[in-house]
Amino acid sequence: MIRVKLRAWTASFRFPTFQSGYQPTLPVPPPSTIQGILSAAKGEPVYLTKLPYVGYVFKSRGKGVDLEKIYALGKVETDIMKREFHHNAELYLYLPDEWKEHFKRPRYQLLLGRSSDLAVVEEIKEEVKLEEKEAPLGGTVVPIGLGLPGMVHALVVEYDYSTVPRRAKLVRPFIVLPFPRTRAERMRQRTKAPYDPELDIGVCLHRWSG
């Protein structure tokens, strides 16, 4: 297993229940964003259901609010919208070894959300060993079957890129778990999981391959 560390100045992930007005960001990337990053690295559509596993942990230094000028289709007037974003963001991806070459030389730009959220590969760590133990989970989404407390959202796991426009191919309910920053959060989000001792965090390894 390898662990790829991406870093970006900003990151933003669409909040599915907000369609207009103030635009908050999800605390962590949805699986479809991970699909987009892997597809950009490889240079072709990647489907998470065809991978043996994928895990990720996201954290940032905090959030800010940007003012964005928008143009309505067919109208000359403009409007100003507030958009929330993460700053100084880090994303750790846990992937099979063969992904090392794709992240050494990504085919397209890697984005943590929108086109302005450019990310760079800061580290590719090989031979990563995760230990199964009681550990806090966070900075990711987990199946609701784990029973951990948190926001529940129906999120797209992967899009079908064989159609135009793309369509959601697989949608699942998840608990959205922010990266735990306090002792109380680490205790509340605790369960048996693969544990990364370097980051001191549990990792949910998603297996959608069936």
Task: Please report, in tens digits, the pLDDT of each residue of the chain (210 residues total).
Answer: 999 999 999 999 988 776 667 889 999 999 999 999 999 999 999 999 999 999 999 999 999 999 988 887 777 777 888 999 999 999 999 999 999 999 999 999 999 999 999 999 999 999 999 999 999 999 999 999 998 999 999 999 999 998 888 899 999 999 999 999 999 999 999 999 999 999 999 999 999 876
User: Quick one: fold of 2-206?
Assistant: Alpha-Beta Plaits (3.30.70)
Position of tokens 């870093």? Answer: 7
What spatial distance separates the first Cα and last Cα of the chain, rounded to whole Å? 20
Of residues 103, 104, 121, the one with CA closest to residue 6:
121
Of residues 138, 170, 136, the one with CA closest to residue 56:
138
Q: Starting at the edge strand that comes first in sequence, how are the strands of the sheet with 55-71 ordered?
A: 55-71, 78-95, 2-11, 118-125, 110-111
pLDDT per residue as tens digits for the range 58-111: 999 999 999 988 887 777 777 888 999 999 999 999 999 999 999 999 999 999
Strand ranges in 96-199 using DSSP code E only, listed in sequence order: 110-111, 118-125, 131-136, 140-143, 151-160, 167-177, 190-196
What is the pTM assigned to this prediction? Answer: 0.93
Q: Which residues 6+ apart lie within 8 Å of 92 measured at CB?
A: 3, 4, 5, 6, 56, 57, 58, 139, 196, 199
Instruction: Give the β-pairing of 131-136 and 190-196.
Output: antiparallel
